Amino acid sequence: MAAPERVVSINLCTDQLAMLLAGEGQLLSVSRIALDRRVSPMADEAAGYAINAGRAEEVHVMRPDLVVAGSYTSRETVAMLRRLGIEVIQFDITRSLEDVRARILEMGAALGRQKAAEEMVARFDADLAELRAGARVGGGDPRAALYYANGYTSGEQSLADDILAAAGLRNAPAEAGYDWGKLPLEILAMLDPELVITTRRYPGGSRAEEVMDHPVVTGLSGQAASAAMTDQDWVCGTPFVLRAISDMAEARRALKARMAGTAAGGPGG
């Protein structure tokens, strides 16, 4: 089957994969969310494409022969595009580092860029193996807790959980049986993780983010505060998750050094 020549992406995660893998002139447009630096690590690259708001009418005018979208993209939009005779391929949510590999290969197949995708996966595997090997220097996996706006956390079977594990950190809420959802402050305090990982703030103020200023979050355990933060590299299943792993591995090293210094300065140190 011939590779598509006019591709439009209407989802943040497919935006990034398409920009990474598309051939010259193959990708016409990406979603407007791709311009948001808070969630998009490719905002500068996105500025070089036509921007869409994910509406079927505007996409149809571009005369694409392929639209790439997410599994949660508006069903009405996807159905309308298909009724108009436009092929739409939807990509599932990434829940693990193994899924990252799968999404890269899926996008490569969709764009007819299989070789480029295979080369990207090979680089991803090599870089991931190196990061994993370096993350556990010094031994021991400190316990960390992800704590987002409104008190949400990420448990097992999530990309965030895999990022922590690759960086040599244990997911304390997941070990306690908490899956994705709200984690009460009282439970966070009882878990007493060595590191609390929060999100980067949006401009202005938000009641949803106020919980991250609570003393339980900012000063937990006395060993480490919320010194590490999630950002745009965590959002989608792309090679940019490697930067998130690197950041967490660095936070782990800083935490271990701080804990060692505290122990040395204590009684008998």
Question: Could you report the per-residue pLDDT of 163-190, keeping only the tens digit for each?
Answer: 999 999 999 999 988 877 788 878 888 8
pLDDT category of residue 137 using cuts at 50, 70 and 90: low
Q: What is the mean pLDDT of residues 221-235?
A: 65
178 versus 76: which is more confidently predicted? Answer: 76
In this structure, the answer to whether residues 231 and 191 fall within a common structural domain is yes
pLDDT in tens, 148-165: 877 788 888 899 999 999
Give the global pTM. 0.88
Quote helix, strand, coil % in the chain, to nearest 5. 50, 15, 35
User: What backbone torsions phi and psi does residue 95 show, to the nearest 5 degrees?
Assistant: -115, 0
pLDDT category of residue 212 using cuts at 50, 70 and 90: low
Residue 45 confidence (pLDDT): 98
Residue 268 confidence (pLDDT): 47
In this structure, the answer to whether residues 117 and 182 fall within a common structural domain is no
Find the DSSP H helices in 209-268.
215-218, 241-265
In this structure, the answer to whether residues 27 and 86 fall within a common structural domain is yes
Residue 129 lies in a domain: no
In this structure, the answer to whether residues 106 and 169 fall within a common structural domain is no
In this structure, the answer to whether residues 116 and 224 fall within a common structural domain is no
Of 65, 94, 123, the one marking the end of a domain is 123
Residue 128 lies in a domain: no
Q: Which amino acid is at 187?
A: I
In this structure, the answer to whether residues 11 and 112 fall within a common structural domain is yes
In this structure, the answer to whether residues 114 and 150 fall within a common structural domain is no
* Domain CATH code at residue 237: 3.40.50.1980
Residue 71 confidence (pLDDT): 95
What are the structure tokens assigned to 141, written together? Answer: 């996996």
Q: Which residue segment(s) compose the domain that 63 sits in?
A: 7-123
In this structure, the answer to whether residues 111 and 83 fall within a common structural domain is yes
Residue 254 lies in a domain: yes
On whether the CB atoms of residues 27 and 7 are closer than 8 A, the answer is: yes
Residue 93 lies in a domain: yes
Q: What is the mean pLDDT of residues 219-229?
A: 51
Of 96, 123, 150, the one marking the end of a domain is 123
Residue 5 has pLDDT above 60, yes or no: yes
Residue 237 lies in a domain: yes
- C-alpha–C-alpha distance, residues 112 and 114, integer Å: 6
Q: What is the mean pLDDT of residues 133-146?
A: 80
In this structure, the answer to whether residues 80 and 164 fall within a common structural domain is no
Residue 223 has pLDDT above 50, yes or no: no
65 versus 214: which is more confidently predicted? Answer: 65
Residue 262 confidence (pLDDT): 62
Residue 152 confidence (pLDDT): 81
Q: What is the DSSP letter of 10?
A: -
Q: What is the mean pLDDT of residues 139-152?
A: 82
Percent of the chain with pLDDT over 70: 84
C-alpha closest to that of 217 among 238, 178, 188? 188
In this structure, the answer to whether residues 148 and 232 fall within a common structural domain is yes
The whole-chain average pLDDT of the chain stands at 87
Residue 130 lies in a domain: no
pLDDT in tens, 80-132: 999 999 999 999 999 999 999 999 999 999 999 999 999 999 999 999 999 99
Number of structural domains in the chain:
2
Residue 135 lies in a domain: no
In this structure, the answer to whether residues 158 and 190 fall within a common structural domain is yes
Q: Which residues pair with 68 in a beta bridge?
A: 9, 89
Of 94, 123, 152, the one marking the end of a domain is 123
